[in-house]
Structure 1
Amino acid sequence: MTRKKQIILPFVILLVGILIAVLFISMKKPPEEKAEVDNTPIVSVEKIIVSPMTLDVQSYGIVTPKYETEMVAQVSGQIVELSPLFVPGGFVKKGQLLARIDPSDYEANLIDAEANMASARASLEQEEAQGKVAQSEWETITNASPSELSLRKPQLAQELAKVKAAKASVLRAKRNLERTEIRAPYDAMVESRNIGLGSFVSVTFNVGKLLGTSVAEIRLPVADNQFQFLDKGLVNADVVLKGTYAGENTQWNAKIARSEGVIDSNSRMSYLVAEITDPYVLEAKNNKTPIRFGSYVNASILGVSLAEAAIVPRHLVQNNQVPILDEESKLHYATVTIVRQNGNDVIISQGLNSGDRLIVSALDYPIDGMKLALATDESGLNSDDTKIAGKVVLDDSDVRED
């Protein structure tokens, strides 16, 4: 009996163990199913805007008058009259009297020269009469020929020379008398005056300086590699000048008048000269803002025009390719033609179309043709409704400035 129990007991224990194991297995909860994870890279995009564009070249310069003159005395004497406008900052018209030197001595010189000329003319007339008498006397003589001296021709030539010399003295005296009046050679602004009423000036004494107000010039340095963006005919190219007047930002329109034609040996820059007419708005009857001599201005020279161009951040361009999200939400590298680098941006003329979605977020392992997904913000708008080229595009009809 005991032997029979020893044989049956292990089988009972094994069976109980199996039952317990089955019980525990049946009580175990099945593992929860995990949601499938989408590992598609998420990117942000910006819509490309392609539009006509005019390239410009940036420069700078100082506004200066096209004409400026150091006024000097051409005769000596005492200043007896000064124009009230002949002061620094005063505006004068062409031909306007600025100062007068005492003309008394020069009037006397003119009278003396005119008297000498009258005397010379009288002597000439007398000599002409004597020459006619001598000619008549020799005509009665038939057996000899008269000499030049007998006909008094040398004496006549001498008196004629005296008349010419007297006439030159009169012209010189008149010119010196006119020079006692110092007049403006053109419409101008007075920069400085170095004389006062009653002061004595000598010949070549600097009496003051005038700045022409009809035209102002600005010398604009331009690097040689920037000329490719300017039209072949530089003359009359439009220039926009930006500066300040009375504390406010202001802009003026100017034109390129000429190129100086040489490269500066120090700066290695070429210089274009822009002109602006009537800088102090003295002639125009409008509300234009004056531009003062000595002002510092930034200049934008308008150059060649592109029929289609887009602006893209420079860091997104690699080997003349930019990443685009195509219609199938796949990565596509578009080959582009770069016209110009402009700071942190590049200007592209070919390879992009309006509405293309430019990928602006970084990709760890980009592969052409890989599947991508758009990032969606809390408002439910896709990130492709974002900015490019300084614009924010919400839809096809709503555009606002960034």
Structure 2
Amino acid sequence: MARKKQIIIPIAILAIGIGAFIGFSSMKKPPEEKAEVDNRPIVAVENITVMPMTLEVSSYGVVKPKYETTIVAQVSGEVVELSDKFVRGGLVKKGQLLARIDPNDYHAALIDAQANMASARAALETEVAQGKVAEQEWQQITDTSPTELSLRKPQLAQELANVKSAQAAILRAERNLQRTEVRAPYDAMINSRTIGLGSFVGVGSEIGMLLGSAIAEVRLPVADNQLQFLIDQGLKSTVNLSGTFAGEELQWQAEIVRSEGVVDDNSRMTYLVAEIKDPYYLNHSNTAHDLPLRFGSYVKAKILGMTIENASVVPQYLVDNNQVALLDSESELHYAVVNVIRQEGGNVVINKGLLDGDQLITSSLDYPVEGMKLALINEEEAQNDDVATSLETAEVVINENEGE
């Protein structure tokens, strides 16, 4: 009996120990699974857009009339009439009367010239008749050839000269009479008037200044290194002008008609001249959006130049030694060699080396190596979300085991 107890008791103790071990083992928490760590550098990208682009050259200038004319008196006399439009800012048509100088003296001079003409014609006819009589008398006296003096040809030439002199006097008198009427030589705006009603003017006295309203010009300075982006040095190029009128930003269109052909000594710029037809809309009806381009206005200009078929715009700081960093389809770093044709502010225009849809890396890399694996910011966020979800699932399982 004692021997049986010695055998049963150790077995019971061993069974109790094994049961306790199994019980404690079932209460032990399983080891947490560690998430796989992604050591790829995280980058941000932008999609490249490749499209046709028309290059523009910026400039500026002041609007001025193509023609400016100082009107002066060509005859002397008292100003007896002034047009209501002959005031500063007035718009006049070609041939419109601006002022009239007293024409009475010039009427009298014309009548005097016409009288002298009549006398000269009468003297000429008389001399012609006397020449015929002298020729007949000479033939009755002798059969020899008469001399020119015998036929009164010198006297006839003198009378012909007197007639031509009288004709010239009439032309001068008519011209001076016409000059008593001061008329606009072209469609114009009155810039100034220096005479008044009743004032006396002499030959050469200034009457006023006109500004041609048919065509306006803008001198546009262009740097030498910008001319390469214009077609045919800018000749016939379209220009978009912008300026402020009554507090509103407006635009007009012009055309480059010529280059001044020299480099300015002070600014070292080449000046291109743009023309604007009918800037005050005098020859066609204007709409509410067709406001006049006033002389003296300061305008900004965009000269349209050559067109690049496959152009893309990239921030300048992303271009290093004519290379840009791209993220390829395998999520690897790839350097593309590009051709920069122009800088525009903080950007550069590229015409070779990039394709539409390429992913341009916009974030910096500490130790970039061609072909290295990279991760996008949105991919990293998705991985973090997956890890968080896995941890939450593991915690739920553990809690359920503990509850059991």
TM > 0.5 fold call: yes
Which residue number corresponds to residue 306 of structure 1?
308
Bigger drift between 303-312 and 265-274 goes to 265-274
Q: Does residue 1:234 correspond to 2:231, yes or no? A: no
Aligned-partner residue type, residue 197 of structure 1: L
Q: In structure 2, the residue corresponding to 1:376 is in which secondary structure?
A: helix
Q: Does residue 1:315 correspond to 2:297, yes or no? A: no
Which residue number corresponds to residue 72 of structure 1?
72
Which residue number corresponds to residue 353 of structure 1?
355
Which residue number corresponds to residue 274 of structure 2?
274
CA distance in 2, matches of 1:57, 1:204: 45
Which residue number corresponds to residue 214 of structure 2?
214
Q: TM-score with structure 1 length normalisation? A: 0.84
Within 5 Å, which residues of 2 pair with 1:260-299? 260-287=260-287, 288-299=290-301
Which residue number corresponds to residue 258 of structure 2?
258
Measured on the aligned residues, the alpha-carbon RMSD in Å equals 2.1
Residue 283 (structure 1) shift: 1.4
Consecutive unaligned residues in structure 1, runs of 5 or more: 1-28, 381-402
Aligned-partner residue type, residue 125 of structure 1: E
Q: Does residue 1:99 correspond to 2:99, yes or no? A: yes
Which residue number corresponds to residue 59 of structure 1?
59
Which residue number corresponds to residue 24 of structure 2?
none
Q: In structure 1, the residue corresponding to 2:63 is in which secondary structure?
A: strand
Higher percent of residues as helix? 2
Residue 39 (structure 1) shift: 2.5
Which residue number corresponds to residue 131 of structure 1?
131
Which residue number corresponds to residue 13 of structure 1?
none
CA distance in 2, matches of 1:335, 1:144: 109
Identity among equivalent positions (%) equals: 66
CA distance in 1, matches of 2:167, 2:238: 54
Larger-Rg structure: 2
CA distance in 1, matches of 2:237, 2:147: 75
CA contact (8 A) 2:98 2:184 kept: yes
Which residue number corresponds to residue 151 of structure 1?
151
Which residue number corresponds to residue 393 of structure 2?
none
CA contact (8 A) 2:55 2:308 kept: yes
Which residue number corresponds to residue 89 of structure 2?
89
Q: Does residue 1:46 correspond to 2:15, yes or no? A: no
Which residue number corresponds to residue 243 of structure 1?
243
Aligned-partner residue type, residue 126 of structure 1: T
CA distance in 2, matches of 1:369, 1:116: 106
Aligned-partner residue type, residue 352 of structure 1: L
CA distance in 1, matches of 2:275, 2:97: 28
How many pairs are equivalent?
354
Which residue number corresponds to residue 390 of structure 1?
none
CA distance in 1, matches of 2:292, 2:355: 44
Residue 233 (structure 1) shift: 6.6
Which residue number corresponds to residue 114 of structure 1?
114
Residue 34 (structure 1) shift: 6.1
Residue 367 (structure 1) shift: 1.0
CA distance in 2, matches of 1:377, 1:185: 76
Aligned-partner residue type, residue 337 of structure 1: N
CA distance in 2, matches of 1:232, 1:176: 49
CA distance in 2, matches of 1:102, 1:242: 47
CA distance in 2, matches of 1:57, 1:278: 24
Q: Does residue 1:325 correspond to 2:327, yes or no? A: yes
Residue 31 (structure 1) shift: 9.8
Q: In structure 2, the residue corresponding to 1:232 is in which secondary structure?
A: helix
CA distance in 2, matches of 1:261, 1:40: 59
CA distance in 1, matches of 2:31, 2:380: 33
CA distance in 2, matches of 1:171, 1:152: 29
Bigger drift between 179-188 and 276-285 goes to 276-285
Question: CA offsets per residue over residues 101-138 of structure 1, 9 Å max, x none?
Answer: 00011111111111111111111111111111101111
Consecutive unaligned residues in structure 2, runs of 5 or more: 1-28, 383-404
Question: CA offsets per residue over residues 6-42 of structure 1, 9 Å max, x none?
Answer: xxxxxxxxxxxxxxxxxxxxxxx99988655432211
Which residue number corresponds to residue 396 of structure 1?
none
Question: CA offsets per residue over residues 301-351 of structure 1, 9 Å max, x none?
Answer: 111111110000011000110010111111111011111111111000011
Aligned-partner residue type, residue 374 of structure 1: L
Q: In structure 1, the residue corresponding to 2:306 is in which secondary structure?
A: strand
CA distance in 1, matches of 2:40, 2:57: 44
Q: TM-score with structure 2 length normalisation? A: 0.84
Q: In structure 2, the residue corresponding to 1:146 is in which secondary structure?
A: coil
CA distance in 1, matches of 2:379, 2:220: 48
Q: In structure 2, the residue corresponding to 1:294 is in which secondary structure?
A: coil
Q: In structure 2, the residue corresponding to 1:140 is in which secondary structure?
A: helix
CA distance in 2, matches of 1:121, 1:149: 21
Q: In structure 1, the residue corresponding to 2:242 is in which secondary structure?
A: strand
CA contact (8 A) 2:42 2:380 kept: no
Aligned-partner residue type, residue 264 of structure 2: D
Q: In structure 2, the residue corresponding to 1:156 is in which secondary structure?
A: helix
Aligned-partner residue type, residue 152 of structure 2: R
Q: In structure 1, the residue corresponding to 2:191 is in which secondary structure?
A: strand
Residue 56 (structure 1) shift: 1.1
